[in-house]
């Protein structure tokens, strides 16, 4: 880092909150994606005012700034692909307020998701978005990526729970958006423009979240299907049953086989496993909804329908589903985890298409995900040291994105665009929409200092 | 209207879909607010392409275009305050698709809210936002204003149910935003930037909504309180009860008295009536939640708690609440209906403050509203032919807005800014936020043709 800039940054955050150490810079060079690039330095701001001062320096000197939480993103949005300053927000990790009367909480971006849930638990409240990375990911990252999770179909995503933000704009101005009131239509909805903007428009330094009373009853059932078509019909018909499950998860055959080869879970080796949860405040409510779902399953030739009789049984079923990512990640040296999302009626088409893509490119693709909102996770397992495989993976992901768009879906349901999907943006978004997104980026960040090189915003 | 422009518009929409008739222009000169200004002409476009051509002409000639639905807005957003072309979208009123499998519906902007609900009803699905104007207001207007309603606390507002939009930009480009998938984080959230933008950024010509299975059980209870403090505590404590009512409505003393003087409903003349609904898919779920709410009420010195035993009794209670607006509107020659919104713990402070403002300015202010999300409707009744009263109403509304902001609230929970609240925008929004909103308006609409003169966007 240029000495003058370095001294300016140290003057803001102090010597101990500035780093150029190789260990830190290597850590900051990657996230949970396959991308990597080293920054020039890292800083740990302690306050919104420090963030503002850092951005003023960076904007004056036209140096990239990459806001960073836990680095669990799967699309490269935290990778400093053009170098610059990593703005590590992990020191701003205070829960500033939990206010049950007002049904809200105010937090800093560095708060870890699970710590927040644990802080809410004694009051019987919870924060409904539920990213699978919650043990480590930070709420700032959740907001920057509009994090989803298993329960999106019933409870929505992060976007639906952000009431207000404090944002530092690229030129260092501090701005508030939204309101502490549950409802507001005062002016443009700037709050949601920042949610999911992947750190490219401003740095969020304080977040006011809506929180909800946690349901106190739940019911879990596992159904297995020998035939993909039957399973697909079952999923579609659940939508006709008059209820929305709190979770409707699937594991495809490839995922099941891989889990069985690498664990002692002994899952049934079928075309598809469906795991359902219904919830409510009373046992009757959860069971009524589950009966509706089971009724649908029974009409579609299931091999087995297994209702969890105890919480322990339910936990074991969810354990199998939740183990998928980690088990699959260990099988080969490398993997890419996608999150294409389609309208629910197209899930079978998507699953079949994925099988074809796997065959065509001779790749192992294990698929699981959130069928309740059409959000599937094809995980492509490969040997990243084999250039031939790397090339085939690239071709397969391109085919996968084209397939999702053909099926009226989207490139990404919850992982974001980042670097990984940037070159596919024009598949999904028309010319006018791309022009508007790029124009917005230029409007907010004319010097392109905030997280540059992401989301195809620079063409 | 300039002859050349007139002929250009007729060439697009046809002679019969262009009007300069006095009757039409007078109709188009007002909405449900107290504001009024006559346009030069009106057009009824039949398609997105026609809207695009109209905007191209207007943009070239720098003529204002005011998109209009049913004109039920209460803040003047449909009033052509700078003249120009009223773009009446009522002919674009087709429900293009209802797709239960995919849990979505695609509609044109001119569809009347109730017609849409009626179309969904046979499938057991519904569109959760519930503006009180639903019998007449159009879905395009609901999106332009981010319409709320009685059930916002549990079900959210229009914003939460918009998946995708087709928008015509001021220069005539046609743009799609969002996705038919339930979840998408592909690029910036342009969809929600248009929701609530009051027709100032683009013209929405097609909307894809998320729909939900309708709850099949409900429970209704009326509670009355002689003391405002007790009622305020009861409302706040409901938030601690571990459930969210599907409606939590209040009527203040002034509103009750006015209703009694003008109907034969014979409501109890107390400081506050609270009307609660809980819902679910089973009777047990609705009753469990109602028991929680009643438990809270019982601890706070109610005069009476009356549970509706039949659907007819419940309907009668809701009838009283829903009659408030119309009954109050008839009492004096004029009224202003506000919708200030505060965090739930500040509702008592707001109610007391409103009483003080009424006393100070010698005005009759009747208050009712959605306590579940802190959204109150103080309705100021006055004689608009008395300049002294008009002046006092202006002073009282200014005081009301200052009060809401002091209480950490917002100028408007669901009615929007329009003309009525434009000059109060800077009370709520800081300098940076105002600059960003104004910059966004200039970015989208550099010639300021779309609904000019609204939302304080021009300073």
CATH number of the domain to which B306 belongs = 3.30.70.2190
**Mean pLDDT along residues B220-245:** 94
Domain count, chain A: 4
Cα–Cα dist B120/B130, whole Å? 14
pLDDT bracket for residue A316 (50, 70, 90): confident
Same domain, B337 and B298: no
Task: Please tell me the predicted confidence (pLDDT) of residue A409.
Answer: 98
Provide the CB-side half-sphere exposure for A187 (13 A, CA): 31
- Domain check: are B198 and B230 in the same one? no
Residue B325 lies in a domain: no
Verify whether the Cβ–Cβ distance A188 to B169 is below 8 Å: no
User: Is residue B153 domain-shared with residue B226, that is, in the same domain?
Assistant: no
Q: Which residues of A touch B161 (CB under 8 A)?
A: none
pLDDT surpassing 80 at residue B459? no
Choose the closest CB to A124 out of B201, B242, B433.
B242
CATH number at residue A38: 3.30.43.10
| Residue A282: band (very low, low, confident or very high) from pLDDT cuts 50, 70, 90 | very high
B431-444 and A431-444 helices cross at what angle (nearest 10)? 150
Give me the domain span that covers residue A381.
332-446
B440/A443 CB distance under 8 A: yes
A377 & A406 share domain? yes
* Average pLDDT score over chain B: 96
Q: Measured between CA atoms, how close is A276 to chain B, in angstroms? A: 17
b/e per residue A108-138 (b: at least 16 CB within 10 A): bbbbbbebbbebbeebebbbbbbbbbbeebb
Tokens 């999302």 label which residue? Answer: A341
Please give the Cα distance from B320 to B62 (Å, whole number).
Answer: 48
Q: Which of B185, B213, B241 is the last residue of a domain?
A: B213
For residue A170, being part of any structural domain is answered with yes
Residue B413: pLDDT band with limits 50, 70, 90: very high
Lowest mean pLDDT among A134-138, A324-328, A384-388, A391-395: A324-328
Closest residue in chain A to residue B124, using alpha carbons only: A242
B99 and B209 in one domain?
yes
Q: Which of A272, A264, A275 is nearest to A306 (CA)?
A: A275
Closest partner residue to B285 (CB to CB) among A213, A280, A414 is A280
Neighboring chain A residues of B409 at a CB cutoff of 8 Å: 179-181
> In chain A, which residues have their Cβ closer than 8 Å to the Cβ of B439?
443
Distance, CA of A20 to CA of A1 (rounded, Å): 8
Per-residue model confidence (pLDDT) at position B401: 98
pLDDT tens column, A45-66: 999 999 999 999 999 999 999 9
Q: Which residue has the tokens 């300021």?
A: B448
pLDDT (average), residues B219-233: 95
Answer whether A428 sits within 8 Å of B179, measured CB to CB. yes
The reply to whether B177 falls in a domain is: yes
Residues B100 and B188 placed together within one structural domain of the fold: yes
- Residues from chain B that touch A202, judged by Cβ atoms under 8 A, are none
Question: How close A15 gets to chain B, by Cα (Å)?
Answer: 31
> What is the pLDDT averaged over residues B250-273?
89
Whole-number pLDDT of residue A399: 98
Same domain, B99 and B28: no
> Which residues does A228 contact at the CB level (< 8 Å), separation at least 6?
A271, A272, A348, A351, A352
- The predicted complex's ipTM stands at 0.97
Q: What share of chain A is helix, strand, coil (3-state, %, to 5)?
A: 40, 25, 35
Same domain, A424 and A354: yes
User: How confident is the model at residue A372, as a pLDDT?
Assistant: 93
Question: pLDDT tens digit string along B126-139?
Answer: 999 999 999 999 99
Domain end residue (candidates: B179, B213, B247): B213
A439-443 contacts: CB < 8 A, separation 24 or more? Answer: A439/B443, A440/A193, A440/A201, A440/B188, A440/B440, A440/B443, A441/A200, A441/A201, A443/B439, A443/B440, A443/B443
Which among A100, A197, A344 is the nearest to B102, CB-wise? A344
Q: Rounded to two decimals, what is the model's pTM?
A: 0.97
Contact criterion met (CB < 8 Å) for B180 and A408: yes
What's residue A329's pLDDT? 87
Token pair of A369, please?
A: 């995900």
Contacting residues of A for B444, CB less than 8 Å apart: 436
A168/A233 same-domain check = no
User: What is the average per-residue pLDDT within B331-336?
Assistant: 91
Is there a domain that residue A42 lies in? yes
Residue A30 counted as domain residue = yes
CA distance B290 to chain A (A): 11
What DSSP state is assigned to residue A390?
H
Instruction: Tell me what the mean pLDDT of segment B107-130 comes to.
Output: 97
Q: What is the pLDDT of residues B185-196, one digit of tens each?
A: 999 999 999 999
Chain B residues whose beta carbon lies within 8 Å of the beta carbon of residue A405: none
pLDDT in tens, A393-438: 999 999 999 999 999 999 999 999 999 999 999 999 999 999 999 9
Which residues in chain B touch residue A177, judged by CB atoms under 8 angstroms apart?
Answer: 433
- Residue A450 is classified by DSSP as B
**A265 min Cα distance to partner chain B (Å):** 31
What are the pLDDT digits (tens) for A264-273?
878 899 999 9
Q: Which two tokens stand for residue A125?
A: 């409240």
The percent of residues in chain A predicted with pLDDT above 90, rounded, is 91
User: What's the rounded mean pLDDT across residues A230-241?
Assistant: 94
For an interface test with A, give the residue of B124, B188, B345 to mutate (most A CBs within 10 A).
B188
Based on the fold, state whether residues A228 and A256 are members of the same structural domain. Answer: yes
pLDDT at A459 over 80: no
pLDDT recorded at residue B322: 82
Could you tell me if A104 and A187 lie in one domain? yes
pLDDT at A326 over 90: no
Asked whether A252 and A351 are in contact (CB, 8 A), the reply is yes
Task: In whole angstroms, give the CA distance from residue B125 to residue B211.
Answer: 7
Task: Tell whether A256 is covered by a domain.
Answer: yes
Which residues of chain B make contact with A186, given a CB cutoff of 8 A? 410-412, 417, 421, 425, 428-429
Q: Considering only CA atoms, which of A372, A415, A373 is closest in space to residue A397? A: A415
For a pLDDT cut of 70, what percent of chain A falls above it?
Answer: 100
pLDDT per position as a tens digit, B415-433:
999 999 999 999 999 999 9
Question: B422 and B400: one domain?
Answer: yes
Kindly state whether residue A457 falls inside one of the protein's structural domains.
no
Select the residue of B102, B156, B430 nearest A175 (Cβ to Cβ): B430
Tell which of B186, B196, B240 to mutate to test the A interface (max A CBs under 10 Å).
B186
Nearest residue on chain B to A237, alpha-carbon basis: B101
Q: Using CB atoms, which residue from A190, A239, A410 is nearest to B181?
A: A410
Closest B-chain CA to A121 = B242
Residues of chain B found within 8 Å of residue A102, distances taken between Cβ atoms: 239, 343-345
A374/B197 CB distance under 8 A: no
Q: Is B172 left (phi over 0), alpha (psi -120 to 50) or beta?
A: left
Residue finishing a domain among B266, B298, B320: B320
For residue A320, what pLDDT band results from cuts at 50, 70 and 90? Answer: confident
CATH of the domain at B376: 3.30.70.2740
The arithmetic mean of pLDDT across residues A259-279, rounded, is 90
pLDDT of residue A352: 95
**Phi then psi for A281, rounded to 5 degrees?**
-100, -10
Q: How confident is the model at residue B325 (pLDDT cuts 50, 70, 90)?
A: confident
- Give, in order, the Cα–Cα distances in Å from A378 to each of A255, A425, B129, B451: 9, 19, 35, 46
Count of other CB atoms within 10 angstroms of residue B96: 12
What average pLDDT does range B271-275 have in this prediction? Answer: 95
Mean pLDDT confidence for B402-414? 98
A458 inside domain: no
Q: For residues A370 and A274, what is the distance between their CA atoms, to the nearest angstrom?
A: 10
Pairing of strands B334-337, B375-382: antiparallel
pLDDT at B394: 96
Which residue, B424, B407, B406, is CA-closest to B415?
B424
Q: What is the pLDDT of residue A21?
A: 97
């Amino acid at each position: 880092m240029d000495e003058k800039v370095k001294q300016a940054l140290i003057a803001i955050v102090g010597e101990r909150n500035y780093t150029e150490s190789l260990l830190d810079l290597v850590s900051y060079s990657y996230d949970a994606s396959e991308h990597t690039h080293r920054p020039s330095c890292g800083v740990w701001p302690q306050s919104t005012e420090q963030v503002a001062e850092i951005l003023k320096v960076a904007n004056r000197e036209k140096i990239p700034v990459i806001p960073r939480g836990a680095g669990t993103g799967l699309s490269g949005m935290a990778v400093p692909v053009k170098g610059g300053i990593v703005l590590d927000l992990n020191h701003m990790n205070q829960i500033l307020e939990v206010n049950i009367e007002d049904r809200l909480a105010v937090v800093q971006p560095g708060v870890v998701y699970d710590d927040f849930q644990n802080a809410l638990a004694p009051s019987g409240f919870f924060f409904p978005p539920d990213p699978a990375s919650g043990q480590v990911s930070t709420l700032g990252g959740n907001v920057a990526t509009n994090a989803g999770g298993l329960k999106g179909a019933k409870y929505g995503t992060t976007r639906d729970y952000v009431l207000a933000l404090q944002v530092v704009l690229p030129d260092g101005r501090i701005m508030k958006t939204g309101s502490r009131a549950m409802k507001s239509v005062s002016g443009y909805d700037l709050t949601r423009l920042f949610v999911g903007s992947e750190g490219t428009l401003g740095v969020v330094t304080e977040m006011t979240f809506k929180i909800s009373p946690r349901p106190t009853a739940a019911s879990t059932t596992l159904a297995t299907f020998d035939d993909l078509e039957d399973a697909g019909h079952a999923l579609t018909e659940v939508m006709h049953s008059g209820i929305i499950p709190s979770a409707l998860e699937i594991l495809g055959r490839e995922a099941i086989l891989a889990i069985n080869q690498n664990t002692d879970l002994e899952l049934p080796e079928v075309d598809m496993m469906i795991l359902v949860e219904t919830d409510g405040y009373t046992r009757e409510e959860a069971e009524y909804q589950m009966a509706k779902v089971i009724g649908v399953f029974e009409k579609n030739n299931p091999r087995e329908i297994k209702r969890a009789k105890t919480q322990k049984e339910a936990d074991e079923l969810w354990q199998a589903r939740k183990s998928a990512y980690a088990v699959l990640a260990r099988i080969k040296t490398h993997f890419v985890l996608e999150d294409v999302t389609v309208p629910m009626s197209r899930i079978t088409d998507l699953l079949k298409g994925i099988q074809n893509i796997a065959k065509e490119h001779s790749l192992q693709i294990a698929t699981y995900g959130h069928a309740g909102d059409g959000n599937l996770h094809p995980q492509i397992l490969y040997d990243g040291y084999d250039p031939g495989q790397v090339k085939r993976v690239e071709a397969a992901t391109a085919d996968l994105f084209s397939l999702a768009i053909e099926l009226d879906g989207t490139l990404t349901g919850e992982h974001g665009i980042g670097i990984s999907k940037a070159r596919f943006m024009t598949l999904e978004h028309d010319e006018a929409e791309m022009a508007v997104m790029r124009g917005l980026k230029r409007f907010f960040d004319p010097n392109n200092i905030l997280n540059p090189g992401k989301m195809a915003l620079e063409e």
